[in-house]
Amino acid sequence: MIITIANQKGGVGKTTTAVTLAHGLAIQGKDTLLLDLDPQGQCASALGLVQEPGVFNLLVGVQTLANVTRTTGRPRLALIPGNKRTATAQVVLNAEEFKLDIIRQLLRPALPGGLNLVIIDTAPSVGRLQEAALFAADLVIIPTTVDYLATEGVVKVIHTVNALVKRQNWRGSVLGILPTFYDNVTRESQQTLDDLQRTFGAELILPPVHRATVLRECGAEGKTIWEKAASSRPAKEYADLVWRVADYLPT
Ligand SMILES: Nc1ncnc2c1ncn2[C@@H]1O[C@H](COP(=O)(O)OP(=O)(O)OP(=O)(O)O)[C@@H](O)[C@H]1O
Ligand SMILES: [Mg+2]
C-alpha cells in the first residue's frame, strides 16, 4: 500500500502529516517506509536525522532501494531521506522523459505481497515527479489550511488526480482532504471548512487538526508528536487519521 501526501500549496502540513502518520502506523505494528520526495528534505529533520541525497541516488539509479533506506531509531519505521539534490534528479528524469510509474517500480522491492506500507511526502510544486507520486498511490491524503485561498490548492490536486484516472487509468483513490491549522475562534476557519464540504462533499473532508504550537515544536526538535506529547490534542486528532488509514490495511 502506497499513500501519497500531496498539495502543491506550501506550508499546509504535508510533512507533519506524513511523518506523524508514518510513525503512528509503525507504532501500530505496521512496517512503514517514509519516502521524502521534497528537495527541502524535511522528513529527515522532522525525525532528528540528517538529510542525504538518498532519493537522488535512487531516482537516477546509482543506488538500490536497500542502499538508500535508513533506520530511524524507531521500531518498524524506515526512511528514504532526500535533500536539495532531489531537484536535480527531477531535471535529469525530465530530460529522459521518465515513465509515470517510476515510483511504484522503484518501490516494488519494498512491497512484497503488497503488505508493506510506504508513505510519500511531496514538494509544494507541480511537476512530473509530483504526478508520478500521485500515480504511485493507492491512497491520497490532501492536507490543507483553512484560509480563504485553501480551496484553490485542493482543486488543483483533485484535477491532477481526475486526469490520472481518465488518461492513465489510475486505480487509486483519495482518502480525504485533511483540514490543518484549524482554529475554532476564527470565522475564517469555520467558513472555509463549510466551503470545502460544499465543494468536495462532506464525506471527503476528514476531521480537522487544530493549530497547535506543539506540532511546530516537534518539527524543530526532530521528534514526532507521539514522542513529545502523546496525549495532546493534535496527537488525538492525528490518531484518528492513523486509525482511518489502518482500516484500509490488511491485518
Ligand atoms: N496543525 C499545526 N499547527 C501548528 N503548526 C503546524 C501544524 N501543522 C504543521 N505545523 C508547522 O507548520 C510548519 C509547516 O508545516 P509542514 O512543514 O508540515 O508543511 P508542508 O506542507 O510540508 O510545507 P512545505 O510545503 O514547505 O513542504 C512547520 O513548522 C510545522 O511544524
Ligand atoms: Mg513539506
Q: What is the pLDDT along the chain (251 residues), one digit of tens a residue?
A: 999 999 999 999 999 999 999 999 999 999 999 999 999 999 999 999 999 999 999 999 999 999 999 999 999 999 999 999 999 999 988 888 889 999 999 998 887 766 689 999 999 998 899 999 999 999 999 999 999 888 899 999 999 999 999 999 999 999 999 999 999 888 999 999 999 999 999 999 999 999 999 999 999 999 999 999 999 999 999 999 999 999 988 77
CA distance 125 to 40: 12
Task: Look up the CATH number of the domain holding residue 107.
Answer: 3.40.50.300
Answer whether residue 43 is part of any domain: yes
The pairing of strands 70-71 and 77-80 is antiparallel
146 lines ligand 1 (CB under 6 A): no
> Considering every ligand atom, which ligand is closest to the CA of 213?
1
Answer whether residue 50 is part of any domain: yes
Answer whether residue 125 is part of any domain: yes
Question: Largest Cα–Cα distance of the chain, in whole Å?
Answer: 51
Residue indicated by cell numbers 542525504: 52
In ligand 1, which atom is closest to the CA atom of 209? 1
127 lines ligand 1 (CB under 6 A): no
pLDDT of res. 113: 67
How many domains would you assign to the chain? 1
Answer whether residue 141 is part of any domain: yes
CA distance 122 to 50: 18
> Considering every ligand atom, which ligand is closest to the CA of 19?
1
- Kindly give the distance from the C-alpha atom of residue 247 to the centroid of ligand 1, in angstroms, as a whole number: 26
Q: Structural domain of residue 160, as residue ranges?
A: 2-245
Residue indicated by cell numbers 535533500: 83
User: Contact 119/20 with Cβ under 8 angstroms?
Assistant: no
Answer whether residue 23 is part of any domain: yes
Rounded to 5 degrees, φ, ψ at 174 are -90, 115
CA distance 56 to 226: 29
40 lines ligand 1 (CB under 6 A): yes
- Kindly give the distance from the C-alpha atom of residue 216 to the centroid of ligand 1, in angstroms, as a whole number: 7
48 lines ligand 1 (CB under 6 A): no
Answer whether residue 251 is part of any domain: no
pLDDT of res. 150: 87
14 lines ligand 1 (CB under 6 A): yes
Answer whether residue 127 is part of any domain: yes
- Kindly give the distance from the C-alpha atom of residue 123 to the centroid of ligand 2, in angstroms, as a whole number: 6
> What is residue 50's three-state secondary structure?
coil
Answer whether residue 250 is part of any domain: no
214 lines ligand 1 (CB under 6 A): no
